[in-house]
Structure formats: structure tokens, C-alpha cells
Structure 1
């Protein structure tokens, strides 16, 4: 079953002098196994939207339904929804609070009453490109790229169907970004539903995800990656998209029906 976002609006501090609209009339269906990127300038409502998906925020108008479970229904066990949706935050150190990588990886399965075998643990480490020697290390003593990968592993440990990445490559060098995208590619091949918030659209050319663009707290575009790029440089700049040289090359290849996929692979 898909994720359904039906006519969702969200207002912070409603009814006070500090009232602020974050989302307006959002309608969006996310099919299992699909890949989406959420775009929009800072403050447009992207983070608020993903926080409604796992019940961190409950919209007063509209409804979020995850595999038939409504976040708004008071009879819904919100823990069952959070077990389905994994979130990798922008700064992974904000997710860590235990002294070893092993304890970090075991925390979520224990919280969700799930058993994780040593073989499963090692397969997750292999997927993120780390060996078992990392299990006894302090997560706060790792490099930025290693911390990011351990954060992903801590989410994979309880095997959620849907995984949300908030700016997954921010602050990383080219090699670090490449490793993160390879992990995401593997998860896509495994059939995970993936949702990414980012400002850097050119990094997603190899995946061609579906696009959800938010402007002034409303959806301004929903559709395919290629059709979004074909809106052209002027229109994308209005949507606060950095039209890099890489995007220009890809745009030209689409306009002239030239296949350049190999140039955009990691």
C-alpha cells in the first residue's frame, strides 16, 4: 500500500501572534519502491512535510495514511508507523547518543522488539562500506562520512519500508558523496521506497527520481525528473534551483534526444 497525503495543511503556533503557515493543501501519493526528491528553498515547508509522514507532526487539516494507518487517528499505534519510516537526519551526530557503533545499531531493533542476527548486522555494515572493526568504535570519533554511513546503518537495522534522507551529502567531499549515493542506489535496488530532501539536483541525474517541488508552502510541481529539467533554466531559477553546468548538459541532451547516461553515473 502507498503513502497517501490528502489535502494536508500545517500551521505553527496557530491562533497566536506567532502563527506561521508551513504547508497548504498538500496532495501526494508515494508508491512502494518509488524514489522521490523534495525540492524548494529554505523555509518552504520541506522539513515540516517529512515530519508529518512519521507522526512527529500531526496536521490539523487533511490526513497522512501510511500503509492504511492514519497518523491522525488516535487509535493508531504511532510506533507502528515509525517502524515503517526511517529518517536519516541532515547531521548524523544528532542521532547518536550511545558510546559505541554496535549499541547505536542495536538500539532501534530493541525499541521495535525486533531481533537482528550477527549475519544481518554484518550485511548492513557491508552495504554501507564499513567492516566489523567499527562496531566497538565511538560514533562521535568517526569522520563525517563514516558518521553519515553509520546513521544510515542505524536506520537499516530495523528494516523500514520507507527511508527519508534529509540532505544526505551535505558537508561531504566528492568521495564521501559518491559513497552515500552508491548506498542509496543499493537500497533502491532492494526495493526500498526512498524520499530525499536536497538542494543539489544534479547529483540525482543518475536516479531520475520523481520530483515534488514546494513553493510558498504549496506544491508548485509534481511529476517526472526529465519533465522538470525540461522546464528550462529560467523557470528552474525561479524555483530556486541551481542550474549547474552538469544540469545544463543534461538539459541539452534531453532537448536534442542525445543519450548521455554514462556521463552521469557514479
Structure 2
């Protein structure tokens, strides 16, 4: 089972003076258990792509199929698609509108007709290292990192198979970032498929994800992380990708065929 994008194109303001092409003929298959990075400059089409995957936008050309369900097929209940795919947005507060953390967590399951027990709620709180007494707190009074964690629970709580993280580490301190990485690893171990839209590939190098690099709505690269890292540096730079010192060393080791050294560098 998978998510498939077949020749997908999308233009904002179609047939108006403000027309702007966001994506052009994108082909992508995301299989169960994969972890993908969607990377590129601001305005490269990353947000449009994840909105198309989730059915928030419908392709104007081509097709998006989630486990065989076409998002633009009117016979498909789009709610069935969205139950399978959860999005954790970059700004967690944009997802909140209820007065307590518990109500925010329960909103998704209630919407999909899922009953969540107190033990299940505690399980998700433990998964992101939040105490049980946070359930009665106002989500808007939490720190940025805590809000991000509540946003993640609000998605995990209805148990989607595919989880999209939009810039999951932006604005977080070191410890909170590490807890997010640990959570992503745990979700992988649970069989979840992870899609991360980000500028910061350096932070995800030890996951060895597959990578889709977008530039001005076009696919510049699609494939394995090690092949992506070894692309021409000027091409990467022009697409908004800058390799930090660790990845420069990793790339150098790969090019010299020193895979064992590359693995050690990756795990630093």
C-alpha cells in the first residue's frame, strides 16, 4: 500500500492575472514504512505538495492516490483519506481552537468516530514526554515545544498510517528537537510512514531518508539520501540546500568509498 502522485500539477489563481504555477508534473510513490524528506527553497512547492497528499488541495492535472483512493474522485469520501494521513503543521497554535489540551487531543478521534480511553491518552502523553496534568491546561499557554507536542498527539490520537511533519524542529530548543527526533524514530518502529517537509536536512541525516528535492515546483532530485548528498554542490546551493560540516565529511567519506567511516560520521 502506498501514496502515489502521478503527473501532478497545481497552479494558484488559475486563469487569473495572479496565476502562479506551484507544482509541475510531479511523480512520487511513498510506500508504507518509508521516511521521506521533501526539501527545497521557500516557495519551491513543499507546502502545496503535502496539501495535495492530504486532500486539502486537489490536483488540477494528474492524480493523487492514497492506498488506491483518488483524492479527486467524487465517489471517494475525502474523510477516509484524511483519516489515513495526519499533518502536524509548522505552527502548532494554528491547529488549536479548543480550551484544554484534552479537548484538542480528543477532537480528531471524535471527528473520525474513534473512542479514546484514558489509558490511550496517557500512552500518547508518555510518548512525547508530557505529564498527565497538562490535560487540563489551555494549549495557548504552553511553550512552543509543548504546543508542538500537543499538536503531534492530536494527530497520533486517531492512529493515521502516514504522518506529515511540516518543519517539525523550527523554533525549538536542542532538548525538544532531540525528543522530536526520538519520537519520529519510535513512530518508524511502530510501522508509521513519515513525510517531513523541511529546510534542514542536516538534522535528519542519521535517518537515511529518501529525498524529494523541489525547485520552482519541479522535481530536481528524487531518490536515496546518499545519492542526494553526492549531488553537485552548486546545484544543491541553488535549490536552497547547504551541507553543514558533518554532512560535508559524510559526503567526502562516501565519495572515497569509506562506507564504515560514513556510517560513524552519520551517527555522531
Measured against the shorter chain, the TM-score band is: over 0.9
Structure 2 match to 1:152:
152
TM-score (normalised: structure 2): 0.96
TM-score (normalised: structure 1): 0.97
Structure 1 match to 2:192:
192
Consecutive unaligned residues in structure 1, runs of 5 or more? none
1:263 Cα offset (Å): 4.7
Structure 2 counterpart SS, 1:259 = helix
Structure 1 match to 2:35:
35
Equivalent positions of 1:1-266 (< 5 A) are 1-256=1-256, 257=258, 258-265=260-267
Structure 1 counterpart SS, 2:203 = helix
C-alpha RMSD of the superposition: 1.3
Distance 2:220 2:14 in 1: 24
When structure 1 is superposed on structure 2, of 245-254 and 42-51 the one drifting more is 245-254
The count of corresponding residues between Structure 1 and Structure 2 is: 266
Structure 2 counterpart SS, 1:206 = helix
Note if contact 1:232-1:251 (Cα within 8 Å) is conserved in structure 2. Answer: no
Note if contact 2:249-2:265 (Cα within 8 Å) is conserved in structure 1. Answer: no
Distance 2:8 2:96 in 1: 31
Distance 1:121 1:41 in 2: 37
When structure 1 is superposed on structure 2, of 28-37 and 255-264 the one drifting more is 255-264
Consecutive unaligned residues in structure 2, runs of 5 or more? none
Note if contact 1:169-1:180 (Cα within 8 Å) is conserved in structure 2. Answer: yes
Structure 2 counterpart SS, 1:165 = strand
Structure 2 counterpart SS, 1:113 = coil
1:175 Cα offset (Å): 1.2
Distance 1:91 1:29 in 2: 27
Note if contact 1:63-1:72 (Cα within 8 Å) is conserved in structure 2. Answer: yes
Note if contact 1:4-1:28 (Cα within 8 Å) is conserved in structure 2. Answer: yes
Distance 1:243 1:262 in 2: 17
Note if contact 2:254-2:262 (Cα within 8 Å) is conserved in structure 1. Answer: no
